[in-house]
Structure 1
């Protein structure tokens, strides 16, 4: 059987290309996920383990005893016999900025030469408090060279050298002297690693180091942070510490791997549908061959075994090609993330499972077409055109079952709109579970019931295309001649496009709803306040310096600014007010939630206070009692009073508050860099809705780009099915096409007819998928907001550029899918095709 299958593949390679492509893309996606994630895991694990790579022993302490210093621990380790050198390894994340950009960097105290894991590329290691060394990659990103200055925690440091650290898009590395690190880090780190160099076998020295350090570590009877594993002291050899780092990173990547495998499963499901259609084409091409085999005595089971052997062979070839394709895709991704510095890592077990899965999917996809083909009577199979399959109609049973799925799913979706939420309500009864189950049932009903409505959709589309002439009308008729195969092709597109639109609508709706709620809750785009909100009289008198006001004037992407002056006060009741500013007409340029005037007996308070709250304020030797009005525009301990009241309470007013209105929330990158630098320096306090809105938009946009790209693989596989369906249509209608040619139809018109058929099949799947996806996206976000008890009004949104782009890609791809079948149909000689019996 396998010998005959191999001959068939060798003598007719054109027949199997479409099948191989569908299998290769499906398995290639899975292999790419496995190889890329494994490579990234190893790269990040090895990168994180670099700090301990030159140490013989690593001592990790979560917390020392009260009063025990790091120096005492270092000295205790150094006294152990055989220890040549003990050093504390300190590191923290710091923002490092140049004139063009700021990068959050993993900064370390320069280790002793014995423990340095990266060599110098240029210059020297930092020794003074005003020096810093950067990895070559970080220096390139910042656009600086040796001798230039960078900003670290508000302090200018000179770049003394660059290093050859392992490249990565996730971690950038810098080195400072101990003095510079302590000044820049500011935050006290409650854990540390000690690197130990020993003379001899590290394993033999472990117990001695543990005995020396244990008395300095917090015991179980003292209240302290004990680490996630409950251990305050962990001692291991350098090799074991590196292995532990790799395992820790591996666990963190598992969630991403499972998510990507979910996308792989979707691509495989679409591929299964397309491979089944492709095998139908293969068998249709060999219809007369099957009839001859049956006529000379071959049984149906013998013919089926031969075809299944071909399926195994095609699955093997396609899966092997998929592994090669997946490795190439993984290499491209790992090159982008710089993980190829460590080389590709291959999870052989996963790849073996994926290889076997490719063969299994191919065999499963081939079973039903093989059964149908071999059950046809020999004389019927010898006819050039199949008739029995074309005349089958969707059964009443299918309509009842699919209708039941849709009705039950719709009921669950309706229930999710008012499902109970809150404490004491089971998650299973909540809106998310109900909406998810409802969406799944509706999707099953739509996909398996496609044969019931896709012909109707195609007929309606045919009326539109038919307006453009006889050729499009003939194409419209052809698309519904085999409803079952047309529905199968459209179903693959419905599934792939529906998932993409679900994510797009869900993301756009969530973004629009959340941004609307943020704008309502925080009506001021950017608030810049004097650091400390005037918590002391000195701070309030200083306010925002003129230098910082000048910096704020240079901040881009701003359409309006309002600067308010005031000073420090004290409040004598439950309302906390530390700074007051005078109401200014400029405020109305930023937001209309601020009144145009304010009485001397009134005060605007942050939104958490109730209307009518009495507030007693003291300042400048004066005491006033005011009636409060809550304002969404205020945060923290700020309050707004009339100009006269402010002058009574503050002797020397100074700028305390600046409001800014942004021109474009999509273009906040440079603005955030400028404000973040001022905030990091401790000069001002920055808040406002624009920051949150920008981060939300950026995260959602990145998420959508990634998920759309991943699901695009499923769309690609589905569009291959359009080409396969047209190929089968050309085979079945060879005599008809020849007759049309004999009656005068030109080759170009025949190609146009197939082009219109491809466009109709593609658009039918995309349009149904878009409508279903829009509903599922809206339903999903609605249920998530209700489950989270967020009462914000729903703002339905759709990402029009991406949605229209998807439709355009589908139309273009469907047009390309018609090229090869069109050439085949047009190249057939009418006399030869009509001569077939």
Structure 2
């Protein structure tokens, strides 16, 4: 039986090629994802180790909550730094201070990705005249005075800046003009990932990112013969309250762990799409082995007649699957290594990852082989069982035994129960506060139920195409009959395409609704023509609002300023606004009261949720404790309907600003004389010095920004889901090829009685088109249902959400399904047309 199974594998190379391709693609995606993420993790881990090569122990804040009345736990000042340098086991100690610093290129655009645009201090020792071992100078000299900076070598290479050039940059809003005095090399992970690093002299960096004389961290080098653990013990004796000493190894491990956590989402997403491709491949594998078993009915029955047991027949089919899975797994693993190398090269060219070798871990090889073998064997198990049930007498009967009525009734009953349970669970989840898990389970049940019911659904849906198929006369009629002749085969083929289009359509429906909801929210909440914020949404300098107010175009402004406080022992953030102008800049729906009295600095407006939680209404009084320990008292002037853009407790800035350690704005709202026009926007940007770090956006810009992010995400998802569609194409080709092989005599007879080659090709193409459109219609229908259901969940937290049906894109998806059918039929149709009619007729 083993020799028989192996002989069958090699005897049906062409038949199994499509199955192997389906498994290969899915496995390649899995192994490629594992290779790519392992390579990136290893590269960043080694970069982290290099970045902390000059750090044996670091003193930093321990991250616990500050006590009431204190804005920060402690300060790391020059005195602490001197104590650290004087420790017996310390070779040197360096004060560290850093923060956001946006650099403009020669065209005035922001360099880096915004979030990794960093600034730091160049620490030249106690006298400021020494060198900083963290940043060896490649060219020029270190910054020693205000107005001087040094750039990392990669940023200098990208921008073309050289020593002596003048650059424009920003830290928190206002434009700064600095002179490049040096270019340095660094192993900083942010720079390796495509970010920028700008160095200032020590005093300037402290002024920009902390306070004069203070540091955010102190790093130490151990003397020769002193371990990191020993130096850490020595540092414990000089720690200010609220700080901790950690070893350089722990810092490197923490950064590596953060990188791995940050990549886990991407890794999970990629593996999920690989799983989808494999799930679609299961239909093809099961379909292929079902057809192979049907074609070998006589052969398997003869084996049973000469003494083979049912277990031996089942085992022979599973051995075939095992061989196919192992070969496909090996090929998929090799292809995956190539995919991983390609992705690594692509990302490396974009300058967003450090250099490092390609990493193929043993676990990747094992997972690839196991996935390939397990998926193939599981998919072949049912056909193997079916093969074992073939009675010996079938050796004398027909080649193809149709499904019994009883088996179809059982299948339809199971499918109906699964579909009903899944639909009921999805509908119930839409009414739950947190129905994500039930909805996911219901969606899976419904999808499986529809798959089980697909043979039943195929007849009426394909019959609906009969009027169109009649236009193609005999070829159209034969195509319709062939499509419903074996409903199980048609179902398995169409289901592969259905799964991919269900996901694509569902995601598109959700994205369209979210985009429209945000547009409604932006237009409904704001009267302001423009919002001004930092490019990476870090705090904005109050100077920006003052500069905007000086413009002749601006009629009203209001900075939005966050202030942490405590109310009844709970931490609560107050939003400071300009009480006299905020009514002109926002359009919020008050359920009681209004803005009147807020400008006095003694009244506040609160959103409905906060008011309900605390039992407030207009006239209610409450007390707050600010960061500096001072107390304030407010009365509620109004209660409004909040949303994701505007919510919380809002008071006048004059009440909160005196209690802030460092005054900064989240954003600034501005209203202009001429409204939102390109000319006015250009005027405002010019007023702010054409600052690349500052975003000036009108409502359309906000909406377009969200739409752009959604479209980028959707395009990525489309690209990943294309894998499932490619596998589905292979499934249609496989089905048609098998169908042509099975119907060789029939096709020969059709040719003999007058149907020409063109008619044969048209018949196969129409059959493929009908099956593909059947899968497309099911997929789009299910996708719309799932998109609606997910939208009902989203609407609970995003009130402006409403169902948006993307008719244009759904039309494209249906056209894509039709294209799949046309392309998949090219080779089978050509093969059918080339059959020799006499040889086909006499074939047993």
Q: TM class, shorter-chain normalised?
A: 0.7 to 0.9
The equivalent of 1:828 in structure 2 is 835
Partners of 2:594 and 2:307 in 1: CA distance: 98
User: What is the CA-CA distance between 1:713 and the residue it aligns to?
Assistant: 1.7
Structure 1 residues 179-237: Cα deviation after superposition (integer angstroms, max 9, x where no partner): 4433543689998443333332342x63345334433321xxxxx5xxxxxxx31332x
- Match of 1:173? 197
**Matches of 1:604 and 1:518, distance apart in 2:** 10
SS in 1 for 2:55: coil
Q: Where does residue 470 of structure 2 map in the other structure?
A: 466
CA RMSD for the aligned pairs?
A: 4.5
Taking the aligned partners of 1:173 and 1:499, their CA distance within structure 2 comes to 41
Distance 1:357 1:613 in 2: 63
Corresponding position of 2:494 = 490
Q: Identify which of 168, 175, 198 aligns with 1:150.
A: 168
| 1:287-328 deviation line (CA, Å, top 9, x unaligned) | 554355445444443333222212111111111111122222
Cα 1:827–1:193 shift into 2, 3 Å: farther
Q: 2:245 aligns with which of 202, 221, 234?
A: 234
Shift of 1:382: 6.5
- Aligned residue for 2:564? none
CA distance in 2 between partners of 1:809 and 1:242 (Å) = 48
2:238 to 215, 222, 226: 215
Any residues of structure 2 matched to 1:803-818 within 5 Å, and which? 803-818=810-825
* DSSP-derived class of the 2:300 partner: helix
- 2:295–2:400: 8 Å Cα contact kept in structure 1? no
Distance 1:144 1:179 in 2: 24
Q: 1:101 aligns to what?
A: 109
Moved more, 80-89 or 769-778: 80-89
Q: By how many angstroms is 1:810 displaced?
A: 3.0
Aligned to 2:325: 315
Which residue of structure 1 aligns with residue 630 of structure 2? none
Please state if 1:564 is matched with 2:555. Answer: yes
Q: Secondary structure at the match of 2:88?
A: coil
Go from structure 1 to structure 2 and tell me whether the alpha carbon gap of 1:711 and 1:275 turns closer, same or farther (over 3 Å shift).
Answer: same
Change (3 A) 1:324 1:807: farther
- Aligned residues of 1:307 and 1:370 also touching (Cα < 8 A): yes
- Please give the residue correspondences for 1:214-363 in structure 2 after superposition, counting only pairs within 5 Å: 214-218=237-241, 232-236=243-247, 238-338=248-348, 339=353, 341-363=355-377
Q: Deviations over 1:700-734 (max 9, x none)?
A: 22322222222222222222211111122112101
Within-5 A mapping of 1:392-471: 395-416=408-429, 419=431, 427=434, 431-432=435-436, 435-471=439-475
**Structure 2: distance between partners of 1:97 and 1:490:** 53
**Deviations 1:231-270, CA, capped at 9 Å, x for gaps:** x31332x445323321332234334433433333322222
Quote the residue 2:550 is aligned against.
545
Q: Distance in 2 between matches of 1:769 and 1:672?
A: 49
- Asked if 1:770 is matched to 2:761, the reply is no
**Unpaired segments of 5 or more residues in structure 2?**
67-71, 125-129, 534-540, 560-574, 601-636, 654-668
Query: 1:519 and 1:606, CA in 2 relative to 1: closer, same or farther beyond 3 A?
Result: closer
Structure 2 residue aligned with 1:159: 180
Is 1:501 the equivalent of 2:505?
A: yes
Separation in structure 2 between the aligned mates of residue 578 and residue 107 of structure 1, nearest angstrom: 31
Shift of residue 158, structure 1, vs aligned partner:
2.8
Please say if residues 125 and 160 of structure 1, whose CA atoms lie closer than 8 Å, have aligned partners that are also in contact: yes
Change (3 A) 1:659 1:710: farther
The C-alpha deviation readout for 1:45-90, integer Å capped at 9, x for no partner, is 4444443123344444448997764322322222123432221233
SS at match of 1:151: strand
Q: Contact 1:5–1:313 (CA<8 Å) still a contact in 2? A: no
Question: Is 1:132–2:149 an aligned residue pair?
Answer: yes
Instruction: Pick closer, same or farther for the CA change 1:136–1:394 going to 2, 3 Å.
Output: farther
Q: Distance in 2 between matches of 1:281 and 1:710?
A: 29
User: How much does 1:7 deviate?
Assistant: 4.7
Would the alpha carbon gap of residues 291 and 402 (structure 1) be closer, same or farther in structure 2, given more than 3 Å must change?
closer
Give the C-alpha shift of residue 340 in structure 1. Answer: 6.8
- What's the CA shift for 1:477? 1.5
Gap change, CA 1:134 and 1:302, over 3 Å in 2: same
Q: Cα 1:578–1:21, aligned 2, differ >3 Å: closer, same or farther?
A: closer
Distance 2:506 2:555 in 1: 46
**Does the Cα contact within 8 Å between 1:109 and 1:181 map onto a contact in 2?**
yes
* Contiguous gaps of at least 5 residues in structure 1: 219-223, 225-231, 422-426, 530-534, 550-561, 569-574, 583-592, 595-602, 619-626, 640-654
1:758 to 2:768 alignment: yes
- 8 Å contact 1:540–1:579 — kept in the other structure? no
Shift in Å at residue 500 of structure 1? 1.6
Structure 1 residues 37 and 816, CA gap change in structure 2 (3 angstroms): same
For structure 1, which segment, 493-502 or 380-389, has the greater mean C-alpha deviation from structure 2 after superposition?
A: 380-389
Quick one: distance in 1 between partners of 2:148 and 2:416?
72
1:16-165 pair list within 5 angstroms = 16-62=16-62, 69-98=76-105, 99-103=107-111, 104=114, 105-110=117-122, 116=133, 124-139=141-156, 142=159, 144-146=161-163, 147-153=165-171, 154-163=175-184
Q: Secondary structure at the match of 1:480?
A: helix
TM-score, with structure 2 as normaliser: 0.76
- Cα contact 1:754–1:822 (8 A) shared by 2: yes
Distance 2:639 2:793 in 1: 35
Task: Indicate if the aligned counterparts of 1:35 and 1:345 stay in contact, CA closer than 8 A.
Answer: yes
Shift of 1:271: 1.5
CA 1:566–1:273: 2 relative to 1, 3 Å: closer
The Cα shift of 1:676 comes to 8.7
The secondary structure found in structure 2 opposite 1:88 is strand
Aligned partner of 1:553 in structure 2 is: none
Normalization by structure 1: what TM-score?
0.77
Q: Secondary structure in 2 aligned to 1:510?
A: helix
Q: CA deviation at 1:464?
A: 1.8
Structure 2 distance, partners of 1:781, 1:525, is 30
Q: Which residue of 2 aligns with 1:513?
A: 517
CA contact 2:203–2:213 (8 Å) conserved in 1: no
Cα gap change, 1:178/1:6 in structure 2, threshold over 3 Å: closer, same or farther?
Answer: farther
Identify the match of residue 196 of structure 1 among 200, 220, 230. Answer: 220
> Are the structure 2 counterparts of residues 328 and 100 from structure 1 closer, same or farther at C-alpha, using a change threshold of 3 Å?
farther
1:778-793 aligned within 5 A: 778-786=788-796, 788=797, 790-792=798-800
- CA shift in 2, pair 1:608/1:344, >3 Å: farther
Distance, in Å, in 2 between the alignment partners of 1:297 and 1:773 is 50
Cα 1:340/1:69, change in 2 over 3 Å: closer
- Give the Cα–Cα distance (whole angstroms) in 1 for the partners of residues 576 and 40 of structure 2: 50
Give, in angstroms, the shift of residue 819 of structure 1. 2.3
Give the Å deviation of 1:94.
2.1
Query: Residues 175 and 284 from structure 1, CA distance in 2 versus in 1: closer, same or farther, beyond 3 angstroms?
Result: farther
Displacement of 1:276 after TM fit?
A: 0.9
Q: Secondary structure at the match of 1:395?
A: helix
**DSSP 3-state at the match of 1:342:** coil
Change (3 A) 1:108 1:578: closer
Distance in 1 of aligned mates of 2:354 and 2:594: 64
Q: Which moved more, 1:316-325 or 1:295-304?
A: 295-304
Q: 1:480 to 1:250 in 2, by over 3 A?
A: same
